Amino acid sequence: MLPYIILGLFAGSIYALASLGIVLTYKTTGVFNFAYGGVAMFCAYVFWQLRDQWHLSQWLVIPILLVVVAPILGLILEAVFRPLATASAEVQIVVALGMLAFFINLVPIIFGGADHQLTSIFSQGHFHWGKHVVVTWNEAGTFLLTMAMAAGLYVLLRRTRLGTATRAVVDNRDLAELIGVNAGTVGQAAWIISTGFAALAGILLSTDEGLVTYVLPALVIYAFAPAVLGRLTSLPLAFVGAVALGLLQNILARYSTTGFPAKLEGSIPYLALFVLLVIYGRRLTEVRSSLRPLTGRASTGSPRWQFGGGLAAAVAAAIVLPQVLGVSIQHDVAEAMAYSVIALTLVVLTGWTGQISVAQMSFAGVGAFTAAHLAGTHGSLFPLAVVLGVAIAVPLSLLVGLPSLRLTGLFLALATLAFALLMDNLVFGSTSISGGLTGLNITAAKIGPLSLKTYTAQFYLCLFVLTIVGAGVFWLKRGPVGRRLQMVRDAPDAAATLGASLTLTKLAVFAAGAAVAAVGGSLLAVTQQTVDPSNFSFNQSLELLLVVVVGGRLLVAGALIAGGLYLVTLLPLPSVVDKYFPLLIAINVIFLANEPDGTLAVAIRQTRFCLAVLYRRPRPDVLLPVPSVLPPTGSRELSGQHG
């Protein structure tokens, strides 16, 4: 047992470092740093570059990282998030997720995408402890180093002026500023320290697990559960929780290193995250709760011509596109339209109801794998498979939604994140469901007599479903359902005091979203023909959220743009596009998070602005922000007075 405990302490102490860093910035600035894993990975690659490529002494490299790189990164992050201090939780989360994607996509560009083995920063050997127990210097060194860092943080917060100021800000920000504490400086310090911890955690983790682009951020998500244990505000609880988590995982590993227990071991942190969120429930409140609601310009009822225009465009696409597009591009477009169907669920969920989900692709995966299992061998079962996929996705969404939809904003986003990762590990990761790494084939799906083998047939099917779902969603938005969603989004308390049930509304949207995502997933399965678990992973859900944000999360058109962006990754374009495209999306998200109408809306507004300036016809609604004072009798009288 003892060796496992030692391993557990070793792993737990690295988690502790990350948990402390996450809690520190959250409690001082109110920002939950989803990008923590990305930052950790970035720093680990810098370390690799400097030590293993340029052969600098690591005793020079580590100080450089902690004194130069981490503070610069920390200050950049602080500068990004400071203007968002009073923004709605939704915007903060979107930006943080955009940051995560930014780092994940930046690393391959700067350092090349290859994975590396890193040797430990401690000497190679081991020593004996007692008679039977062997402890490597890596384990011992890591443990001691992290303990020293934690102790240093404790002393810093308890014994220095910075610590006093930090506690004042955490206690009551306004009061602290009133008595002359500079909350901005405190925030900067917190970001610098937190990023330093991220750098260390990144290096220590990658000497253990290898330096792999996708693994490291996921490992850092392990630290979310301990952070939530301390309700994101208690450093000691986060620390204890992290060590306990490491111990639990490794003690479990004692019993089995294969099969389900092994999978469970990897899933425990996500399971713990989900369970903790559910148990704490409404007792989790965000440290900054007085936040501006977010509105776009397009969210009051859209004119009818958009509806007609959309339908006309769909018909035109049906007639024209198959004539002008090559067959393989038709196929790509079909796949992109399936993707748009899934994106539409996110428009409703995130854009219209204000709930952030990073699990939509998991529900799509349910549809896809159901389709592959059923219709893979018997193509004519495809319609049944779609229905069955929905029938599985809906109860699953209720299972997740019922306990977690009492949560709001950040905590709901965390719950969907935990769910998505659990699905990845336990469901899509299991060979009997996913068919292993190569996935499952579905090549001969049919709807009645109609074969979906040809790309043109797939194109028509996807176009048809997208049109139906798009039109349906658009139509709902204009009626009572749309109003109900907007109520829940803009002012949940008011909605409840008028008689609307928040839980029912959110649950209905969540379940409907899961159902439609499952349908979209089975369409994806048909177009992709090979259903591969990695297409439905948490990373894909994250990517989906980001392209929807860029497209415009309040707009049906936003989902279409999201599909278009996905199409870019399918088309045979020069590799430089593939290389930089995800990074551009991430950067776009960071800048556009405040614009729920997305890129296109912003572009239109800017164009109008430029035109107005060019032609010297100042249009008040373009040039000025929303008027703040109006005579109570309306604007007609106003213009009358002047005219």
Partner 1 sequence: MVEPLLAATDVTVRFGGLVALDHVDLEVAPGGITGLIGPNGAGKTTLFNVITGLRQPNQGRVLLDGSDISRWPTQRRARAGVARTFQRLELFVGLSVRDNLLSAWEASVSGGVFGRSGAEGRARVGEVLSRLGLVSVADRRAGELPTGLGRMVELGRALCTRPRVLLLDEPSSGLDAAETARFRDLLLEVVGQDAGGPSVLLVEHDVRLVMEVCDQITVLDFGKRIASGPPEEIRDDPAVIAAYLGDQGVTDVA
Nearer to partner 1, 452 or 495 (CB): 495
Separation CA 165–CA 194 (nearest Å): 17
Q: Beta strands 126-129 and 133-136: pairing type?
A: antiparallel
| Cβ at position 405, least distance to partner 1 in Å | 14
Separation CA 545–CA 101 (nearest Å): 11
What DSSP string describes 479-511? Answer: SHHHHHHHHHHH-HHHHHHTT--HHHHHHHHHH
Those residues with Cβ within 8 angstroms of residue 452's Cβ, 6 or more apart along the chain or in another chain: 379, 382, 445, 446, 458, 461, 526
Nearer to partner 1, 11 or 487 (CB): 487
User: What is the contact surface with partner 1 in residues (CB under 8 A)?
Assistant: 293, 295-296, 299-301, 479-481, 483-484, 486-487, 489-491, 493-502, 505, 626-630, 632-636
| Cβ at position 487, least distance to partner 1 in Å | 5
Those residues with Cβ within 8 angstroms of residue 32's Cβ, 6 or more apart along the chain or in another chain: 22, 26, 92, 93, 96, 232, 410, 414
SS3 549: helix
What are the tokens at 319? 């007639």
Nearer to partner 1, 258 or 633 (CB): 633
Burial per residue of 360-387, b for 16 or more beta-carbon CB atoms within 10 angstroms, e otherwise: bbbbbbbbbbbbbbbbbeebebbbebbe
Nearer to partner 1, 29 or 299 (CB): 299
| Cβ at position 463, least distance to partner 1 in Å | 29
| Cβ at position 427, least distance to partner 1 in Å | 33
Distances (CA, A) of 616 to 604, 605, 607, 611, 639: 18, 16, 14, 8, 20
| Cβ at position 430, least distance to partner 1 in Å | 39
Nearer to partner 1, 356 or 414 (CB): 356
Nearer to partner 1, 49 or 295 (CB): 295
| Cβ at position 619, least distance to partner 1 in Å | 16
| Cβ at position 558, least distance to partner 1 in Å | 15
Nearer to partner 1, 579 or 619 (CB): 619
What are the tokens at 56? 């600098």
Nearer to partner 1, 217 or 482 (CB): 482
Q: Are the CB atoms for 365 and 521 separated by under 8 Å?
A: yes
**E strand intervals along 323-458:** 440-441, 446-447, 450-451
Distances (CA, A) of 551 to 248, 369, 475, 546, 565: 42, 28, 20, 9, 8
| Cβ at position 479, least distance to partner 1 in Å | 6
Q: Provide the 10 A C-beta neighbour count for residue 465.
A: 20
Nearer to partner 1, 632 or 643 (CB): 632
Q: Are the CB atoms for 114 and 45 separated by under 8 Å?
A: no
| Cβ at position 130, least distance to partner 1 in Å | 48
| Cβ at position 336, least distance to partner 1 in Å | 29
Nearer to partner 1, 134 or 491 (CB): 491
Nearer to partner 1, 95 or 291 (CB): 291
Nearer to partner 1, 128 or 636 (CB): 636
Q: Are the CB atoms for 228 and 23 separated by under 8 Å?
A: no
| Cβ at position 315, least distance to partner 1 in Å | 28
Q: What is the CA radius of gyration of the chain?
A: 26
Q: Are the CB atoms for 559 and 346 separated by under 8 Å?
A: yes
| Cβ at position 549, least distance to partner 1 in Å | 17
Q: Which residues pair with 9 in a beta bridge?
A: none
Per the listing, tokens 């659990």 go with: 422
Separation CA 473–CA 470 (nearest Å): 5
> 34, 120, 125, 13: which is closest to 77 by C-alpha?
34
Separation CA 527–CA 547 (nearest Å): 20
Q: Which residue type is seen at 393?
A: A
Separation CA 486–CA 288 (nearest Å): 22
Nearer to partner 1, 483 or 608 (CB): 483
